[in-house]
Chains A and B, each alone.
Chain A
Amino acid sequence: MIARRLLSVALCLSLAVALLPERAASRDINEDPIVVQDPHFGEVLFYFYQQDYFPAIVRLLAAQKQERVASHIEESNLLLGGLYLSYGHHLRAAEIFQELLADNVQPAIRDRTWFFLAKIWQQRGYVDESERALENIQNELPGSLEAERQMLHAQLMIDRGRHDEAIALLEDWRDKTEWSSYARFNLAVAMVRSGQVNNGARILDDLGRMEPFSEELRSLRDKANLALGYAYLQDGQPLAAKPPLQRVRLAGPFSNKALLGVGWADAEVEDYSRALVPWMELKSRNLLDPAVQESMLAIPYAMAKLDSISQAADHYLNAIEAFFEESNRIDSMIELIESGYLFEELLAQDAHGTTGWYWDLDKLPDGPESRYLYHLLSTHEFQESLKNFRDLSYLHRNLDDWQGSVDVFRNMLDTRELAYNQRLPRVETSLAAADLDGMVARKLDLDARLNSIETNGDALALANKREFELWGEITALEQSRAANADIPEAEEVRDKIRLMKGVLQWDLEREFKARLANIRRDLRETGEALVATQRSRRQVDETMRNEPLLFQSFNERVDGLMPKIDLTKARVDSAMGRQRAYLQAIAVDELRAQKQRLNIYTVQARFALAAIYDMSATTVGSTSE
């Protein structure tokens, strides 16, 4: 095992989960470190840390299938669950967690994982699943997550109409952070919905007077004031409605509605001059806002009340014209959406092709249509559907790429198989010519001869060529007639021959052991080379046996995967079509509702205008009479 970078992964899941929400608590880096032992596990982390969840999952699934993460079995399963969760494949993530979270994970990590799963499910409208996930949390979550969990729980209860339970939960709120303000707002909502209007109003009034320290809280204060003001207006208490409505900031997401409400509060007490002040301010604002649209009718209404009939008529005419133009723009927008290009355009803004769960469109496409989409984009339903559409587009591109690659694989396999079949006869001929068995027999024969030489001490057998020739010459001389003559000179020659023979024999015997060892070493190396050759031969034979099977296996895999890709791609295309249609339907419904509202306003403006004309005609008639 090579010691590698120490990861601060208290089980990788904590990282996976910690990375999920943008404002999640910081990653836990004080957990027991683990060591990356399998490079393929480290490779998965490489993609995971870049938030490239799709390739990370693919690599992890492949590594698991090939048993390449044997040292990280537990971590890799949990990481896979975390990756699925980050990728937005929440159903599969939940299956994994259900299997693994019970025993294998620290309770803190397990609880946090269930919390994020619950949150994702709530956003996706999986209310039952979200509640079940919350039930799996056993201990208090760290930091602000606990408050967020309670809030999520209360939200689920309110969504399900269990207001009393939500009230009980929210009334017990002990947290002192900014979450307590949200909790009080939700408490007021639950109270109003359950009929405890006065209690709800008191809480909203408190919230509307708080000193906020962040933009989020300022926005919440505006929301509370607006809700309270409109509740009083609806209850016929215009004087009580005015103070909370006036506490709403002049520039903010709720300012238009507040200005409209302030105007109506004045109008209700018949102070039309005062009512005109906020309404005239609204008139200069974005006509897309329903409050602004309504102000275009409210202004002439107030003017008429102030007997400025002629000005009122002008304003009605202006309103009718503005509504007409706006209505035409909405028609063009509906046409654009129905053409189907809008969503592709929206996704084109996402240069990285992100596949993560926490993905938002941070920039709308330039163009007149963008202003209609702000409201839609703020809804979970549209955002989540757009994410699904984005993910399907990614899957489509991915399968498209693989289609091309598989064609290349097919060509590659065909070429490789052809080359193999062409080379095979030559290889077979070469193999047939190599007499490996004969070589082994010769080696064994040499071993036997060497053993015999050693046993007999036959030093001459290991003589080199020159020594052997010398030995032959000496022996020949020894046996020659002259050397054996019975004369003194011959005796002297015989002595020299004996001396020469003795020296040669001495040399041979002195070298005998070394030569024997050298030859034995050479023979041993020859034997080893023969064994290696035999092994190689076996491998060649095995390859020749297996290669056709390997080709067959590859061919089967390619042949099996090609139609699978086609089929899945067709299903992805069809799902994309349905998802696009669904998104179009949401967007078009929203726009049609806007158009319908404009139509109603137009009718009312026309009617009021006609009434003014009638009244003028009547007045002129009675004057002339």
Chain B
Amino acid sequence: MRRLVMIAAAVLAWAATTDAGLAQDAELEGSAVMASAQSAEASERAAREEFRSLDEEVQDLKKEVLDLNRDLFLLEEELLFPANSQVAFFISMDVGEYFALDSVNLKIDGKEVANYLYTDREVDALVRGGVHRVHMENLKVGDHELIAVFTGKGPHWRDYRRGATLTLNKGIGAKYVELEITDRVQKLQPEFEIKEWE
């Protein structure tokens, strides 16, 4: 606005040397500029208030949708994997210096049930302590054989593929199984273990 006044004043001052009447227009324009500055301030204030009101509405909606998602998430899980037959398989990593995970393949009673390829972001999340629920299954009460095959890069960045197995006794109630990748420091090798989450 200041620049505007400056150029307007400069141009009009020069022009006024030839026609004095136009200088009045410049003054009028100056008043209009002032009035427009005040109205801009008022509209800015109104815009701020509108922003806040919209922001509060978005905050409310976020809460509602999150709560709704929680209920739907639980409904889906309970519907697809009833507590009595539910078995959840979690992947975790401890340290992970000797193994860079690429994928995990899961077989239950000889049948392939999951083949998960990890992104760099996911591997990073695992290394930092996140636990990934790689698969959920409904299993009958009794013994089941679980085989997990881990693929990735081992020590010296060589291709590495290792399996681990567990005979899983499914009772009544949900069961959580942990597929854990740890570092065996003494042998400078990764270690893969499947165990029931106690």
Contact = CB atoms under 8 A, between A and B. Distances in A.
Interface of A: 1-2, 4-9, 36, 39, 41-43, 45-50, 54, 57-59, 61-62, 65-66, 87-92, 124-126, 230, 233-234, 260, 264, 267, 290-291, 294, 297-298, 301, 304-305, 381, 384-385, 388, 391-392, 395, 398-399, 402, 405-406, 409, 412-413, 554, 557-558, 561, 564-565, 568, 571-572, 575, 578-579, 582, 585-586, 589, 597, 600-601, 604, 607-608, 611, 614-615, 618
A335 to B, nearest CB: 22
Given A1-B198, A2-B198, A39 B66 contact: no
Given A43-B133, A264-B6, A4 B92 contact: yes
B128 A49 contact: yes
Query: Which has the most chain A C-beta neighbours within 10 Å: B65, B77, B78?
Result: B65
B130 A45 contact: yes
A298 B7 contact: yes
Contacts of B42: none
Contact of A608 (B14, B64, B75): B14
B79 A554 contact: yes
B66 A57 contact: yes
B159 interface: no
A561 B131 contact: no
Contacts of B71: 557, 561
B158 to A, nearest CB: 24
A173 to B, nearest CB: 29
A406 B72 CA distance: 8
A7 B64 CA distance: 31
Contacts of B195: 2
Contact of B130 (A42, A91, A575, A615): A42
Contact of B79 (A57, A59, A413): A413
Contacts of A41: 131
17 contacts: A4-B94, A36-B129, A39-B176, A43-B90, A50-B121, A50-B122, A50-B125, A61-B66, A91-B59, A124-B51, A298-B7, A304-B14, A392-B58, A392-B61, A402-B68, A565-B72, A600-B4
B62 A391 contact: yes
A521 B114 CA distance: 44
B95 A89 contact: no
Contact of A611 (B19, B133, B176): B19
Contacts of A399: 65, 68
B55 to A, nearest CB: 6
Given A388-B54, A561-B72, A39 B90 contact: yes
Contacts of A611: 15, 18-19
Given A2-B195, A36-B131, A381-B48, 19 more contacts: A4-B94, A5-B92, A39-B176, A43-B133, A49-B125, A58-B69, A92-B62, A126-B52, A291-B3, A384-B51, A402-B69, A406-B72, A409-B75, A557-B71, A578-B54, A579-B54, A586-B47, A608-B15, A611-B15
B191 interface: no
B116 interface: no
B2 A234 contact: yes
Contact of A65 (B12, B70, B76, B178): B70
A100 to B, nearest CB: 18
Complex A-B, nearest 3 residue pairs according to Cβ-Cβ distance, in ascending order: A42-B131, A46-B130, A49-B125
A297 B7 contact: yes
Contacts of B147: none
A264 B43 CA distance: 32
Nearest to B6: A264
Contact of A391 (B3, B47, B58, B124): B58
B156 interface: no
Contacts of B62: 87-89, 92, 391, 395
Main secondary structure of the interface of B (DSSP, over half): helix
Given A398-B65, A561-B68, A409 B55 contact: no
Contact of A604 (B11, B59, B92, B95): B11
A50 B126 CA distance: 10
A384 B51 CA distance: 9
Contact of B11 (A290, A297, A582): A297
Nearest to A600: B4
Given A385-B54, A578-B54, A579-B58, A557 B75 contact: yes
B31 to A, nearest CB: 14
Nearest to A12: B129
Interface of B: 2-4, 6-8, 10-12, 14-15, 18-19, 22, 43, 47-48, 50-52, 54-59, 61-79, 88, 90, 92-95, 121-122, 124-126, 128-133, 176, 178, 180, 195, 197-198
A316 to B, nearest CB: 10
Contacts of B3: 260, 290-291, 294
A2 B177 CA distance: 11
Nearest to A382: B51
Contacts of B70: 58, 61-62, 65
A294 B7 contact: yes
A135 B54 CA distance: 26
Contacts of A290: 3
Given A45-B130, A575-B61, A402 B72 contact: yes
Contacts of B95: 5
A371 B74 CA distance: 47
Nearest to B36: A596
Nearest to A90: B59
Contact of A388 (B19, B55, B67, B128): B55
A607 B15 CA distance: 8
A601 B93 CA distance: 66
A126 B70 CA distance: 29
Contacts of B47: 381, 585-586
Contact of B61 (A87, A90, A395, A614): A395
A62 B129 contact: no
Nearest to A56: B130
Contact of B54 (A2, A46, A264, A575): A575
A88 B56 CA distance: 12
B169 to A, nearest CB: 15
Nearest to B32: A600
Contacts of B15: 607-608, 611
A364 to B, nearest CB: 22
Nearest to B198: A2
Contacts of A395: 61-62, 65
A595 to B, nearest CB: 14
A87 B22 CA distance: 58
Nearest to B78: A554
A5 B93 contact: yes
Given A46-B132, A260-B3, A301 B68 contact: no
Nearest to B126: A46
Given A557-B75, A604-B8, A125 B48 contact: yes
Nearest to A257: B3
B52 A568 contact: no
A48 B122 CA distance: 10
Nearest to A605: B11
A323 B155 CA distance: 66
A351 to B, nearest CB: 13
Contacts of A230: 2
B7 A571 contact: no
